[in-house]
Amino acid sequence: MKRASKRWLAAAVVSLVSTTAAWAQADWDAVVEKAKGEGKVVVYGSTFGNALYKAVVANFEKKYGIKVETLDIRASEIYERVRVEQSAGRYIADIIMSPVSVVTVIERADLLQKRGHVPNMENLRPALVESLGGNEYRVPLYTGYYGILVNARVKPEDEPKKWTDLLDPKWKGKIILDDPRAIGNGFALFNATYKGIGPEFQQRLAQQQPVISRQVRNDERRVAHGEFPLYAPHVFPFFLELKGLPLRFIFPEEGVPNADTQAVVPKNAPHPNAAHVFINYILDPESQLMYGNAGYMPVVSGIDDRLNEEVKPMLGVKRFPQVDLDDMRQLMEQAKEWYR
């Protein structure tokens, strides 16, 4: 009798799970149909000029027949644009894809609506689910990792393996450093190493007399041409775009600065269903594989073994803390004091 009861209970649980899954799928199918009826989705972001994003958009449009309109502007300008639009009652943006710092500013200004159901979020890496901490607005999309760009003429035994190796006297005056005094890659490095290694590292790095610059795509080529042996921090996906040039990329042993790109939906988005379908599509395994093979860390589980060998080194790196708005101003003032 007890065995029969257990079998009945197990069957009931399976039936309930199957029914719930069927309801969830039916609900999502309805969202997709509504999205197709909306016909388009408007996306604001600041990294859309690259071939990767264009390929993802082309695939999405082909699959769903929903047109993607993109506004590509500086991350620092997105908040103000959305604020003005909502103040005027002119609702244009459906999705904002931006780094955590920008998303945080927009969220704190109460300009967002809750994300709702995004099926592929069920595949997020556990660490990312934990980092969200129950946040009901944000959807992680991918993560950019930073390292050190090295001219190939530097002998492997001489190249830096750790951030602290940049303090070797042989590199004095020979490092291009992205500007740590302004929002961008350089400040991401300052923040990460200040917290992950300690303040003394940045203080001593400033004494190495690095050449400060904000021209990322030009500076990487100065290293390739041999004008400088090192550039830091460099974005891993940018390195992959430089195939054929005499360059190597180092993920330092202590850990790496990193920046999550997240998606959020503004209040009163005119195409909310299309927004959810597009966000869900970026979390699709095939889309995530495209981002991964371009050098961005995928946010979903289950595709690591499908990544190209050249990008797999990023899977094992340690992540340093990301920029936190609550201490950003204080740290930036410290950077301005040390890097005059």
Q: pLDDT (tens digit, 9 = 90+) per residue, 219-277?
A: 999 999 999 999 999 999 999 999 999 999 999 999 999 999 999 999 999 999 999 99
Contact between residue 74 and residue 102 where contact means Cβ atoms under 8 Å apart = no
Are 248 and 281 within one domain? no
At residue 278's C-alpha, the angle toward residues 273 and 283, to 5°, is: 125
**How many other β-carbons are positioned within 10 Å of the β-carbon of residue 64?**
17
Interval 74-92: pLDDT, tens: 877 899 999 999 999 999 9
Q: Is the pLDDT of residue 123 over 90?
A: yes
Q: Is residue 14 part of a domain?
A: no
Residue 76: what pLDDT? 77
**pLDDT tier for residue 50 given thresholds of 50, 70 and 90:** confident
* Bridge partners, 18 (sequence order): none
Are 124 and 53 within one domain? yes
Residue 14: what pLDDT? 41
Residue 6: what pLDDT? 52
Domain that holds residue 191: 144-258+317-338
Residue 101: what pLDDT? 86
Residue 4: what pLDDT? 58
Are 91 and 189 within one domain? no
Residue 103: what pLDDT? 93
**pLDDT tier for residue 18 given thresholds of 50, 70 and 90:** very low
Q: Is residue 8 part of a domain?
A: no
Q: Is residue 13 part of a domain?
A: no
Residue 19: what pLDDT? 39
**pLDDT tier for residue 140 given thresholds of 50, 70 and 90:** very high
Contact between residue 43 and residue 57 where contact means Cβ atoms under 8 Å apart = no
Q: Is the pLDDT of residue 11 over 60?
A: no
254: left (phi over 0), alpha (psi -120 to 50) or beta: alpha
Residue 23: what pLDDT? 45
Residue 183: what pLDDT? 86
Q: Is residue 231 part of a domain?
A: yes
Interval 158-175: pLDDT, tens: 999 999 999 999 999 999
Which of these ranges, 2-6, 133-137, 279-283, has the smallest mean pLDDT? 2-6
Q: What percent of the chain has pLDDT over 70?
A: 92
Residue 227: what pLDDT? 98
Residue 5: what pLDDT? 57
What's the mean pLDDT when you consider all of the chain? 92
**pLDDT tier for residue 25 given thresholds of 50, 70 and 90:** confident
Interval 188-200: pLDDT, tens: 999 999 999 999 9
DSSP per-residue codes, 196-252: HT-HHHHHHHHTT-PEEE--HHHHHHHHHTTS-SEEEEEEHHHHHTTTTSSEEEE--
Are 46 and 62 within one domain? yes
Are 87 and 124 within one domain? yes
Choose between 94 and 3: higher pLDDT: 94
Are 152 and 204 within one domain? yes
The Cα 78–Cα 72 span in angstroms is 9
Are 192 and 179 within one domain? yes
Q: Is residue 3 part of a domain?
A: no
Q: Is the pLDDT of residue 73 over 90?
A: no
Are 333 and 228 within one domain? yes
Residue 48: what pLDDT? 57
Are 129 and 94 within one domain? yes
Q: What is the CATH number of the domain that holds 205?
A: 3.40.190.10
| Pure H helices in the chain | 2-38, 51-64, 75-87, 100-108, 126-132, 185-196, 199-206, 216-224, 236-240, 272-282, 285-293, 325-338
Are 115 and 205 within one domain? no
Are 214 and 283 within one domain? no
The total number of structural domains in the chain stands at 2
Mean pLDDT of all residues in 136-159:
97
* Orientation angle between helical segments 2-38 and 51-64, nearest 10 degrees: 100
Q: Is residue 186 part of a domain?
A: yes
Are 81 and 39 within one domain? yes
Q: Is residue 164 part of a domain?
A: yes
Residue 1: what pLDDT? 52
- Predicted model pTM: 0.89
Q: Is residue 12 part of a domain?
A: no
Residue 49: what pLDDT? 60
134: left (phi over 0), alpha (psi -120 to 50) or beta: left
